[in-house]
Amino acid sequence: MTYKAPIRDMSFVLNEVFEADKVWSSLAGLEGMVDVETADAILAECGKIASEVLAPLNREGDEVGSTFNNGEVTAAPGFKEAYQTYVDAGLNGLGGNPNYEGMGMPKMLVAQVEEMVQGANMAFGLAPMLTAGACLSINAHGSDELKEKYLPNMYSGVWSGAMDLTEPHAGTDLGIIRTKAEPNSDGSYNVSGTKIFITWGEHDMAENIIHLVLAKLPDAPAGPKGISLFLVPKFLVNEDGSLGERNDMSCGSIEHKMGIKGSATCVMNFDNAKGWLVGEENKGLACMFTMMNYERLGVGIQGLGVAEASYQAAVDYALERTQSRAPTGAVAKDKAADPIVVHPDVRRMLMTMRAFNEGGRAFSTYVAKWLDTAKFTDNADQGKHAEAMLALLTPVAKAFMSDIALECAIAGQQVFGGHGFIREWGQEQHVRDIRITQIYEGTNGIQALDLMGRKIAANNGAFFRLFEQDVNDFIASQKGVDGISEFIEPLQAVMTNLAELTQWVIERAQTNPNEIGAASVEYLHAFGYCAYAFMWARMAAVALPKASEPFYQAKLSTARFYFQRLLPRFDGLSGSVKGGSESLFELDAESFLTA
């Protein structure tokens, strides 16, 4: 498979739309850490690795996959060497704490790196993604001793990380987990239990694997308030930092999956494995949620990256494949037929992919900006504002971006026609790989419930009004700008409609608790379409003064397509939300059974 890192568009989003250098220089915690030249150099290096090292391994990773033999997992062919190339480039600790040998780069930059890695080879990209998530939790909640002992080797990639949450009977409802942790006299704990769906829980790419495991203490309260988090290494670490004996944990098997076959999805068994408490007793979920905003945005970025790869392949194919003549007459007169890019329906699919991918790239960067603000500001009010925006936007980033990514990959497959259904062309792998992004890190239905229930209805729309104000401030800033009205007017209309829809659901939920769940998925999508309209209006505002240049003219053309052909979906979603919950419950449960 081939993949070309979209660095020009990433630079546009970072430097022109969001003026990242101004954002970074305004945040005390980023002072002197990064500038445009450094960011460009990092993007260029990652783009080269993504295109030349990771993408060529994607297909074989899918066809051969990770292999399991007597408790040992061997990564897919070439993955171990590619991992070493990746960590040697310093990319593994890009966002890590500089006090422990991380690079301390902002998420606005890291998000672009993540997109390239995931787009080139999503199965591989899960390994550094899981390590970064584990590092976030250790850095935020671990003791100084744990941070000093584990973070430097994790940031360097000598050791990797894994997150162990799910059990065979406990997925979304982690309050019913059975994994136990018994305290020892030396301050450690013996952890016992079984965890499933553990991405890269076992492999041969790194010298050690540091598991963060949710478990319950003997006297823990029932439910989610009784969960603690423990650091459990594959190999115990001696006082001098060298590796000691293997811990009492093992991989029982790896899953046979629909997609991301290059990554190992493990069943992990802990049998009095020695571990150490991260954070406070019975506060394990809070420790995990520290990394959730990052990980859930990361999952949305995964979908975006793979959808971009699908788009690139579809464009190449549409320019080369010849079938029939253009409706307006022959274009390639020296050939028996025209390239399929001349056909309106093929254009519709390609433009849909392009509009969603470029809108998603801007939106992921917008969310990353709030992550950077929350993390690096020294202004308490600014930090509180950023945290509220993150609470609101994170479920949208995870669910809307991944749902739309699957739509894009299916469109890319459709451009290929019958060839899209055949393995050798690669498009069917993109469809299979993206599918998991709608499921893990909290299914998209759960994300929608989180948005509608916790982030909107629970605070009577307070978080929503912050987003609404951000959009309205931008609209006000464009007053009197020549040519911008074709983008501002529909943005203003959809923002007004979304505000009205939000209030409608809040009011209905006060008398019928089913309304939140009934509205949630369609509402999240309606929010997503409005958010992407905001992004496209911002991009159009930058492109308008430079419209004579081809890159910016293409931006304006794609913006017009989004507003004219995709944003109208909002109206249907709004109508569905206002259809209410009653029809969902007319059938009794037994009526779902077929004769």
CA–CA distance, 432 with 580 (Å, rounded to integer): 33
pLDDT of 177 over the 70 cut: yes
Point out the least confidently predicted range of 171-175, 251-255, 402-406, 550-554: 171-175
Chain CA centroid to CA 92, Å:
17
The pair of structure tokens assigned to 108 is 């606005």
215-271 pLDDT, tens digit each: 999 999 998 899 999 999 999 999 999 999 999 999 999 999 999 999 999 999 999
What would the pLDDT profile of 478-529 be if each residue is shown by its tens digit? 999 999 999 999 999 999 999 999 999 999 999 999 999 999 999 999 999 9
Q: What is the pLDDT of residues 277-316, one digit of tens each?
A: 999 999 998 898 888 878 999 999 999 999 999 999 999 9
- Is pLDDT at 171 greater than 70 in this prediction? no
Q: What is the mean pLDDT of the chain?
A: 96
595: confidence class by pLDDT, cuts 50, 70, 90: low
- According to the model, what pLDDT value does residue 162 have? 97
Residues shown for the chain:
595
> What pLDDT shows up at residue 289?
82
Separation of alpha carbons 518 and 8, rounded Å: 41
């579809």: which residue's tokens? 314
The DSSP annotation for 93-130 comes to TTTS-GGGT-----HHHHHHHHHHHHHH-HHHHHHHHH
Q: How far apart are CA 223 and CA 216, in angstroms?
A: 10
Query: Per-residue pLDDT tens for 534-593?
Result: 999 999 999 999 999 999 999 999 999 999 999 999 999 999 999 999 999 999 998 898
Residues 6+ apart with CB under 8 A from 549: none
- Whether this prediction's pTM lies above 0.85 is answered by yes
pLDDT at 294: 84
pLDDT band at 176 (very low <50, low <70, confident <90, very high): confident
- The pLDDT > 90 percentage for the chain reads 94
Give pLDDT tens digits for 362-374. Answer: 999 999 999 999 9
Beta strands 235-237 and 228-233, pairing class: unpaired
Instruction: Tell me the mean pLDDT in the region 125-148.
Output: 97
pLDDT value, residue 141: 97
pLDDT of residue 493: 98
115 assigned to active site: no
Residue of 441, 500, 522, 582 with catalytic role: 441
Among positive and negative, which fits the CA dihedral 93, 99, 105, 110?
A: positive
